[in-house]
């Protein structure tokens, strides 16, 4: 959806750069502002996606660390029980 919108804005921008009618400069500036706003929105979405991926990776690493800690605790507890027996 955003790509289609960007394509549409770029097409309008190309047309606006060739427009010599009154108000063309203002329309060109408006299109440039719309393109910048869309680029900012895309960057924010990419950043949010990267943050989500990083959080998922962190969660996975924490789960692995917790499993390893439990395994080590179980092994240590087993050694203590063997020693006491």
Taking only the tens place, the pLDDT of each residue in 38-55 is 999 999 999 999 999 999
Q: Residue ranges of the domains in the chain?
A: 2-84
Give this prediction's pTM: 0.62
66: nearest Cα among 58, 78, 76: 58
Whole-number pLDDT of residue 84 = 59
DSSP SS3 for 22: coil
CA pseudo-torsion sign 54, 56, 61, 65: positive
């Amino acid at each position: 959806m955003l790509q289609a919108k960007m394509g549409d804005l770029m097409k309008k921008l190309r047309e606006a750069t060739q427009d010599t009618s009154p108000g063309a400069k203002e329309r060109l500036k408006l299109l440039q502002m719309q393109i910048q706003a869309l680029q900012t929105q895309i960057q924010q979405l990419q950043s949010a996606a990267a943050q989500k991926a990083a959080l998922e990776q962190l969660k996975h690493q924490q789960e692995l660390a917790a499993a390893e800690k439990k395994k080590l605790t179980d092994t240590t507890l087993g050694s203590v029980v063997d020693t006491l027996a």
